[in-house]
Amino acid sequence: MQRLLRLGTATTVGMYLLLLTGSLVTNTGSADGCGQSWPFCDGDWSSVATFIEVNHRLVTGVLGIMILALSVGAWRAFGRHREVRLLVIASLFLLVLQSFLGAAAVMWGSPPAVMATHFGVSLASFGTVFLLTIRIKALATGSEEASPSRGGSARNGLGRFRTLVNVALVMTLLVVYGGALVRHTSSGLACLDWPLCNGQVFPGFTGAVGLVFIHRLSVVVLTVFVAYMGHQTRPFRRERPDLYNGSIIALLLLVAQSLTGWLIVSTRAAVAANMLHAAVLILYAAALLYLAIQATPYGIKYPGRPLRAVVE
């Protein structure tokens, strides 16, 4: 089981690196490094763009094999658990969909809608592998602890928190898609200052400026919501420090991710700033996914007192 857990950890880290290499492809304009050929490459092998694109495809192929191996191992070891089966199916489906969208982006000339969807699906693929690894750890170590769902104010608070996390995940997906559209439509510098937009508090909702403004506004709404979500863990922070501390980390990462947005504007969309923006976003998504599974009976046992001891 430890071998399977190590494979899950390596695959999760690999998916994180895959998302970063995908961001590098986008931010260096290397998406056309292989022309419109897929899965083979019809590019200039002496160019940097071709080198970046080819390496991204190689990493994708290796990760595909690792996800397949992880899925087979998880199904064989813990296939009797319904949630494991669902995560395995989701991981394989998203892997295929991610590959299809990558191929479509190459052969169709990288349309913004396809590229934005490709990033969102890739992030979801990372999420399913991450959740599957957490579930494998809980089952392999026997450390899972069922979270009560009925009775007592603490239990009701945990149920509300679970709902808030799910809403935050949906909101995050919409914000991510909006940000990907901003990037893939080359609208990132439509607003040349931050947090204002060209010196205006309200620049309107039309054109490239409107797209950037909507994205910024949605990030503000999401940040307030995540702060409120974390506040709901205060009544049971002693019993569930994993949720309390995890909420703080998620909020800090979201704020940091917003600040990297300022860095993109101030550096006029430098590649390093865009890469940092993506790197922090993925970590924030991982923190939110961790909270999502820990708020269910399927997470890793938390270090605090069992919640039922408080209720009883």
Question: What tens digit of pLDDT does each residue of 77-86 get?
Answer: 999 999 999 9
Domain limits of the chain?
1-142, 148-312
Tell me what pLDDT residue 165 has: 97
Block residue for tokens 């750890």: 137
Looking at per-residue pLDDT, the higher value among 310 and 248 belongs to 248
φ, ψ of residue 206 to 5 degrees: the values are: -110, 150
What whole-number distance in Å separates Cα of residue 224 and Cα of residue 134? 28
> Residue 235: is its pLDDT beyond 70?
yes
What whole-number distance in Å separates Cα of residue 238 and Cα of residue 11? 33
Q: Which amino acid is at 214?
A: I
> Residue 306: is its pLDDT beyond 70?
no
Phi-psi region of 142 (alpha: psi -120 to 50; beta: other; left: phi over 0): left
Q: Which amino acid is at 254?
A: L
What whole-number distance in Å separates Cα of residue 251 and Cα of residue 161? 15
φ, ψ of residue 197 to 5 degrees: the values are: -120, 105
Q: Which residues, other chains included, contact 230 with Cβ-Cβ below 8 Å and sequence gap of 6+?
A: 244, 247, 248, 250, 251
How crowded is the C-beta side of 204, counted as CA atoms within 13 Å? 5
DSSP string, 183-197: HHTT-TTSS-SSSSB
Contact between 88 and 75 under an 8 Å Cβ cutoff? The reply is: yes
Catalytic residue selected from 53, 83, 239, 312: 53
145 is catalytic: no
Contact between 134 and 290 under an 8 Å Cβ cutoff? The reply is: yes
What whole-number distance in Å separates Cα of residue 215 and Cα of residue 202? 13
Tell me what pLDDT residue 279 has: 96
- Please give the model's pTM, rounded to 2 decimal places: 0.89
Q: Which amino acid is at 253?
A: L
Contact between 134 and 293 under an 8 Å Cβ cutoff? The reply is: yes
Question: What tens digit of pLDDT does each residue of 264-279 get?
Answer: 999 999 999 999 999 9
Q: Which residues, other chains included, contact 268 with Cβ-Cβ below 8 Å and sequence gap of 6+?
A: 189
* pLDDT category of residue 69 using cuts at 50, 70 and 90: very high
Question: What tens digit of pLDDT does each residue of 22-63 get?
Answer: 999 988 888 788 888 887 888 888 789 999 999 999 999 999
